[in-house]
Amino acid sequence: MKIVSQESDEDAAFAVLEQALDRVEAMPGSPAKTAAVRRLAEKIGDLDTRVTDIRRYEVLRIRDEEQLALAPLADRVGISKARAGQIVKEARNA
């Protein structure tokens, strides 16, 4: 049985996304390419929204579970301290 790490699974998924972009980019200029670009941009926008939601959830989960201050919390998640503060403030006001 082959054991696959989560990181290699993620790398494989990212490679699929890059291949889709490469295929669209390689298409000759045409209405089909324009439509493919539009669909790809819409899907990437949808994924970006999901990633933002997941990151927000993780910021709040880590804050609640580990009681980290904003600076280490922001570093851990890969965002600015100001953005971490905004997420926490939005959650308090919700």
Helices of type H across 1-94: 6-26, 31-66, 70-77, 81-93
Distance, CA of 67 to CA of 46 (rounded, Å): 31
The 10s digit of each residue's pLDDT in 29-83 is: 999 999 999 999 999 999 999 999 999 999 999 999 999 999 999 999 999 999 9
Helix 31-66 vs helix 70-77: crossing angle, to nearest 10: 140
Distance, CA of 91 to CA of 61 (rounded, Å): 11
pTM above 0.75, yes or no: no
Q: Backbone phi, then psi, for 29, in 5-degree steps? A: -55, 125
Q: How do the domains of the chain map onto residue ranges?
A: 7-93
